[in-house]
Amino acid sequence: MQKQPAPGTCHFRYTQAQEPLPDPACTPGALSPAVTQSNLTQTICNPSGYTKGIRPPVSVTGPEKIANAASYGAKDPLHDTEYDHLISLELGGDPNDPRNLWVEPPSPGHTPGGGPSNPKDQVESKLHTAICSGRVQLRDAQQAIATDWTTALTKLKIK
């Protein structure tokens, strides 16, 4: 298990639309050194799948999620949150660096007890497609999503 920030030291931020953002001091994002612009076809753009082979097991992330929830002082039931990679694995984020993982609270409109609600996943998929099609550079997508996932597509002019 990766060491997490001390309990209560991290604070969620929210956009005007009340979408959750992580504390940039606790969760600035971290990149996998295995993914570079020059090896995209062997890593994140490999059609046979890249993320399955690097995703940490629940036996590792389960205890980390509990500790990270304490770091953020999370109030939502953990089954309604997602232990999420700020820079997703499909964008070359580090699989288990605590600087890249946070307990993401539910988005607006979430049904309590309905499990995680994460519109960030759609943003990640669109960025992944743009990277793999050559429309966006890897580093630009990583920086945009780490800064504010809710504005990443607009910033990079992706529809």
Residue 64 placed within a domain? yes
Residue 125 placed within a domain? no
Question: Phi and psi (nearest 5°) for 84?
Answer: -110, 145
In this structure, which long-range contacts are made by residues 43-51, counting pairs with CB atoms below 8 Å and at least 24 apart in sequence? 43/92, 44/89, 44/90, 44/91, 44/92, 44/128, 44/131, 44/132, 45/131, 45/132, 50/89, 50/90, 51/89, 51/90
Which stretch of DSSP H or E encloses residue 83?
Answer: strand 82-85
pTM score of the predicted model: 0.90
Burial class (CB in 10 A: 0-12, 13-18, 19+), 104: buried
pLDDT of residue 2: 85
| More confidently predicted of 26 and 76 | 26
Residue 159 placed within a domain? no
Residue 6 placed within a domain? no
Chain segment 58-115, per-residue pLDDT in tens: 899 999 999 999 999 988 788 888 899 999 999 999 999 999 999 998 877 767 766 5
pLDDT of residue 76: 77
Residue 113 placed within a domain? yes
Q: How confident is the model at residue 131 (pLDDT cuts 50, 70, 90)?
A: very high
Give the pairing type, strands 82-85 and 101-104.
Answer: antiparallel
Chain segment 1-21, per-residue pLDDT in tens: 888 999 999 999 999 999 999
pLDDT of residue 75: 82
Residue 153 placed within a domain? no
pLDDT of residue 13: 94
Question: What whole-number distance in Å separates Cα of residue 143 and Cα of residue 22?
Answer: 14
Instruction: Tell whether the model's pLDDT for residue 146 goes beyond 90.
Output: yes
Residue 57 placed within a domain? yes
Name the region of 10 (left: φ>0; alpha: ψ -120 to 50; beta: rest): beta
- Show the domain range for 75: 13-117
pLDDT of residue 113: 67
pLDDT of residue 78: 86
* H-helix segments, the chain: 58-72, 120-132, 138-147, 152-155
pLDDT of residue 103: 93
Number of domains into which the chain is organized: 1
Residue 56 placed within a domain? yes
